[in-house]
Amino acid sequence: MSSSSPTKRPPVISYLGFPLLIVGILVLVVVFSSQLWAIFSTPEAVREWISQWGLIAPGIFVAAQILQVLVFVIPGETVQIAGGYLFGYWLGLALTTSGIAIGSAANFYLARFLGTPFVAHYFKERQLKKFGRIANSPKAQIGFFLLFVIPGIPKDILCYVAGLSPMRFLYFLAVSMLGRLPGIIGSTLMGSAAAERQWTLSIIIFAVACVLFIVGLLYKERIQSWIERYSHRSR
C-alpha cells in the first residue's frame, strides 16, 4: 500500500458529480432505450450489432465493453460471451480484457477525483465501510484479489472503493484484472465454443459458472468476513 491519499476535490464537485452523471446516463438510456435493449439483450444481438461495423468492429467491441463496466446495470457476461462468439477465443479474450481494464480504471479515477460523496450515491454505507476496511488493511492487495475472484461479489463497488483508498492504481489494476481473469476466460471460451457449435463445452462452462455464482451468492457474507479478518492479520 502507498501512503498517498486520493485527490481532494471541492465538495460541490463531489456532490454534483453523481447527479450530473446519472442525468447524462438517463438521457442516453431514454433516448436510445430501444436500441440499447436490442443490442445488449443477448450475446447474439451484441454480435450482430458489432459485426456490422466491419474493420473497426474490434474497436467498437472494446468501446461496448467499457460502456458495460461504466454503466454496470448492463450484464457483463453478455458482452464477454459475445466477444468470444464474434472474434474467437484469443482475440475475444484480448479485447474483453482491454475493455474491462479501461472501464475499471475509469471507475477508479472517478472515485479518486470526485471522492466519497460521489460514491456514496451508488452504494450502501455498510458496503462501503466493509470493503473500505479491506482496502485500507495491511494485506489489501491480496484481499481485493480474493474479492475479485469470488463470483457474486459486485466488482463495480470494488473499483470505486479502491479509488477512495490509498491503494496505488497499478496495484489495483493488477489484482483486479488477475481476479477477474477466470470469469473472463470462462465467458469468452463459452462464446467461442458456441460459435464453433461445441455445445457440450458451452453447457459445461455454463453449468460450472452457475454453480460458482450460486455458491458465491449463498456464502457471500461469510466469505467477505473471512477475507476482512485475513486482510488485517499481522502475518
- 23-79 pLDDT, tens per residue? 555 555 555 556 555 666 666 676 677 777 778 888 988 998 988 888 766 667 778
Class of residue 114 by CB neighbours under 10 A (exposed 0-12, middle 13-18, buried 19+): buried
Instruction: Determine what percent of the chain is predicted with pLDDT higher than 70.
Output: 77
Per-residue model confidence (pLDDT) at position 1 = 44
Largest Cα–Cα distance in the chain?
55
Residue 26 pLDDT: 54
Tens of pLDDT, residues 124-145: 777 788 888 888 888 888 888 9
pLDDT (0 to 100) of residue 154: 77
- The span from the CA of 47 to the CA of 86, in Å, is 6
Place of cell 470526485: 114
Q: What percent of the chain has pLDDT over 90?
A: 17
Grid coordinates given for 216: 458465491
Q: Quote the pTM value.
A: 0.74
